Structures are given as structure tokens and as C-alpha cells.
């Protein structure tokens, strides 16, 4: 990969990134992917000055003080936003720190990330929210806290939602923990309407799921692993939708994974309910056939489902029933992952492999809509377009080339990737955001 700064040429030959800041950045020969822009699907030069797009043209001459970016098969879209990321800090810094996590996100093409509350202590008060925001100040990738819905994420008492919203929380949910108390979710949906709060409800019925650790089906039976039926997810979603119909408000269902879940949400949207949902990339790309290796990296929650489910999820994205794609990036340290499958913690990292995996499954318009436009609207972030005068918030990527994802591609502190050994297509080059250019080869 080659890019130039003034008259100097820099050649990156390893995985170290270059972080560059100058008055003006010139992006050469970039194919713009932005359906809201008049330049959609056109190859243009883009000049950015002091963080704003100054000019877009077929060719813009270089000047001595320009940082010039020229990359093979360069594509540019509005910045990607990952709505479910875990970094560990505070409390689990051995898994990932905010500093390294934000750098990983930037190199993986994400200009914004929503960070989950699964820390120690849990993000369930305004001070904890402000800690995350202050800790992330000054990075190219912006961090947005998802605060806990209940105190200590224990599902008993509602947390200080309004105070946390005022401090910068963009949504409220207990990460990977279902709200078992029906009345508590009802009250949360009613209360959050007072300040346009977004409530997240993880789709799992613990009573039905029991001690299941993988999808209940042919593979779980063959391998002797305890199964969690798809019904556990679908029953919870049906309950949540009934409550939403009664209360009104805004409900987001994270990481759906079954065919019936998609059908339930599609029907709810037809009724006019204000419900949105996301899907994790590993539930699109992988199935429970991966379990035959007993690799704990593919132990995730919700579990990997069947090929039929994966196809239904992809169809749900293409037809607009599923609104958001997330990496559901969840670093787990080796002491809790490289152990017997039944006792290993759930979770996979996913930022580094996100675009390469999606690019094998979906068209670019769907990818950018579900990584940028939709999540920003749902979670209340400012949307933008690639046009003159707009603030530059851009993701860089190439659609060409295939490669096998390996440990050398992992930038996270924890290495628990379900995509190790998988063939990915294309890759992220980096981002321009907050007047910072970060590139990764």
C-alpha cells in the first residue's frame, strides 16, 4: 500500500498503521458508495480541509502541503458504526482496553462504536458513562456508551436512565442478559418515552434455553452438547413485541439469529411498531456445522444456527426487516476461552474480519446501509453524506482480493476469533474521522 505526504512517499509493509494529520488530505481515485450523494458509484478525487470536504472532482491537483491517499481499488463510504462492541475496560483490561479497542475499530473501518455495559463495575450510572466518554476523548473513532438497563445488569431494578442519557448514553440494555421480568420491561419502555430513550432487550428465554450452550438440533445431538432451542429466542421476541404494542416507545432487539425471529419482527413492523433489530456477522457467515471441531472460538450467544437460519437472516437484511449489522465484538482472554468447550465463555472478536466477511455475502449498498445509515438513525447519531461542505466521516475499503484470516490479521489484545482460517473477500483500509486519518495495510 502506498500513499504520499507532500513530496514524500511512504510504503507500509506490515500491520502497523500510519496516523496522519495535516491541514488538507487529498483522496485520489476513490469509488464513492453513498446512495444519498450525487457521486454514488462514481470514481472521484476528494479534498478534505480541516476536517470538512472542500471539493469533489474527477481530478484534483496535488499541492506540497497535502496528505495524499492513493490505494488500490479504493472505495469510500460514510463512516461505519458498530452498535455492539465490548472492550473490557474498566475491570477487564486483560481482554481489551479502550485505547487499543478504538485503534482496532479505526483500522477495521469503523468511525463510531457503541460500547456495551459488560464491564466491572457495570456502566449503570452517569459517572460510569462519563468515564467511558472521557477515556475515549481525542481518538479518531468515536465511542458511544450503551448503559445498563438495570442496576448492575441484574434485571431487578431499573438504572438511572434519564441521568445516563443526559451524560451521553445512547441506549440502555443488559448485554447478553434477557429481561426476565415482564413488568420491568413494560415500565422501562413507558419511562424511556419521556426522553426518547432506546431500550434494548436481548432475545433469550432462560427458562426455555436452560443450560443449553449451542443450537439445539442435529449437530448438538451428534456431538452430545446441550442444546438451546430457537424457541428460546422466538418466545422472548414475541413477548417483547406484545409489550411494545401495549406501551409504545422504541425497542431494539440485538443479534437475532433464527428464521422465525425475522418473521416475527417483519410482522411487527407491518403493524407499525417502532421496533428495530440487528444481526451479528458470525450468525450470517457461520453455522453450527462449525461445532464439529469443538473450537471454543465459535461458542457464541446467541449460538450459531443452521444454514436455513443464515439464509433467512441474509434475506431479512436484503428486504429491510433487519436494520443493523454488528460485529458483536467481544474479546475474551485466553484463560476463559482456551478451555473445555462446555466451560468456555461465549464471545468472538469481529471488528478486524467484519468487512471481509460481509463482502462475501452481501452487496455494497446493503452493507453500507446496515453499517452506517440505519444504525446512526436508530441510535441517534448524526448522519452525513459525501458532498462538498459536509464533515468528513469516512470509511476506506477495497472490494477486491481474497485472503485467509489468520492470527497475523488480529489487532485486538484477545485472539478469540471465530473467523480464523476463513476466506474473506476485500478488506478495510481505515478511516478519516474527527480530522484524523488512520490507515492500515
- SS3 of 22, please? coil
| Cell numbers found for residue 192 | 424511556
Angle at 196 between CA 187 and CA 167, to 5 degrees: 100
For residue 174, indicate whether it is catalytic: no
Compute the distance between CA of residue 114 and CA of residue 84 in angstroms, rounded to an integer: 6
> Catalytic pick from 34, 174, 323, 328?
328
Chain CA centroid to CA 174, Å: 16
CB 288 within 8 A of CB 333: no
Compute the distance between CA of residue 304 and CA of residue 298 in angstroms, rounded to an integer: 8
Chain CA centroid to CA 22, Å: 29
CB 338 within 8 A of CB 293: no
140 preceded by a cis bond (ω within 30 of 0): no
Compute the distance between CA of residue 319 and CA of residue 296 in angstroms, rounded to an integer: 33
* Residue from 133, 134, 163 nearest 151 by CA: 163
Q: How many C-beta atoms surround the C-beta of residue 396 within 10 A?
A: 23
Residues in the chain: 441
- SS3 of 420, please? coil
CB 234 within 8 A of CB 246: no
Compute the distance between CA of residue 292 and CA of residue 372 in angstroms, rounded to an integer: 35
Compute the distance between CA of residue 255 and CA of residue 57 in angstroms, rounded to an integer: 40
Q: What is the 3-state secondary structure (H, E, C) of 311-353?
A: HHHHHHHHHCCCCEEECCECCCCHHHHCCCHHHCCCCEECCCC
| Active-site residue list | 328
Amino acid at each position: 500500500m502506498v500513499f504520499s505526504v507532500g513530496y514524500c512517499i511512504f510504503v507500509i509493509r506490515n500491520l502497523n498503521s500510519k496516523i496522519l494529520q495535516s491541514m488538507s488530505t487529498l483522496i485520489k481515485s476513490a469509488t464513492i458508495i453513498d446512495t444519498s450523494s450525487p457521486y454514488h458509484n462514481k470514481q472521484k478525487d476528494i479534498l478534505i480541509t480541516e476536517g470538512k470536504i472542500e471539493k469533489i472532482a474527477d481530478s484534483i491537483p496535488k499541492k506540497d502541503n497535502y496528505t495524499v491517499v492513493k490505494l488500490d481499488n479504493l472505495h469510500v463510504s460514510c463512516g461505519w458504526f458498530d452498535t455492539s462492541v465490548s472492550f473490557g475496560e474498566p475491570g477487564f483490561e486483560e481482554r481489551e482496553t479502550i485505547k487499543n479497542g478504538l485503534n482496532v475499530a479505526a483500522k477495521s473501518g469503523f468511525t463510531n462504536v457503541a460500547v456495551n455495559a459488560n464491564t466491572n463495575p457495570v456502566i449503570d450510572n452517569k459517572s460510569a458513562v462519563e468515564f467511558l466518554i472521557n477515556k475515549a476523548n481525542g481518538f479518531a473513532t468515536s465511542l458511544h456508551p450503551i448503559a445498563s438497563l438495570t442496576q448492575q445488569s441484574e434485571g431487578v431494578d431499573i438504572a438511572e436512565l434519564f441521568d445516563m442519557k443526559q451524560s451521553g448514553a445512547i441506549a440502555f440494555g443488559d448485554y447478553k442478559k434477557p429481561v426476565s421480568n415482564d413488568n420491568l420491561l413494560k415500565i422501562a419502555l413507558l419511562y424511556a418515552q419521556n426522553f426518547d430513550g432506546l431500550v434494548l432487550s436481548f432475545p433469550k428465554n432462560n427458562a426455555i434455553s436452560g443450560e443449553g450452550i449451542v443450537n439445539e438440533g442435529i449437530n448438538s445431538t451428534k456431538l452430545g452438547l446441550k442444546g438451546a432451542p430457537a424457541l428460546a429466542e422466538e418466545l422472548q421476541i414475541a413477548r417483547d413485541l406484545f409489550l411494545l404494542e401495549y406501551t409504545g416507545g422504541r425497542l431494539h432487539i440485538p443479534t437475532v439469529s433464527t428464521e422465525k425471529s425475522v418473521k416475527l419482527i417483519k410482522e411487527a413492523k407491518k403493524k407499525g411498531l417502532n421496533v428495530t433489530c440487528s444481526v451479528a456477522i458470525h450468525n450470517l457467515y457461520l453455522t453450527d456445522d462449525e461445532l464439529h471441531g469443538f473450537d471454543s472460538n465459535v461458542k457464541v450467544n446467541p449460538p450459531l444456527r443452521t444454514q436455513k437460519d443464515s439464509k433467512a437472516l441474509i434475506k431479512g437484511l436484503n428486504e429491510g426487516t433487519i436494520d443493523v449489522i454488528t460485529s458483536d465484538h467481544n474479546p475474551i482472554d485466553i484463560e476463559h476461552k482456551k478451555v473445555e468447550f462446555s466451560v468456555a465463555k461465549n464471545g468472538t472478536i469481529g471488528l478486524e474480519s467484519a468487512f471481509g466477511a460481509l463482502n462475501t455475502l452481501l452487496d455494497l449498498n446493503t452493507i453500507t446501509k446496515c453499517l452506517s445509515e440505519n444504525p446512526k438513525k436508530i441510535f441517534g447519531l448524526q448522519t452525513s453524506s459525501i458532498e462538498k461542505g459536509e464533515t468528513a466521516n469516512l470509511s476506506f475499503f477495497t472490494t477486491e482480493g481474497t485472503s485467509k484470516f489468520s492470527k497475523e490479521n488480529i489487532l485486538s489484545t484477545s485472539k478469540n476469533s471465530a473467523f480464523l482460517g476463513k476466506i474473506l473477500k476485500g478488506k478495510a483500509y481505515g478511516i478519516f474521522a474527527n480530522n484524523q486519518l488512520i490507515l492500515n495495510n
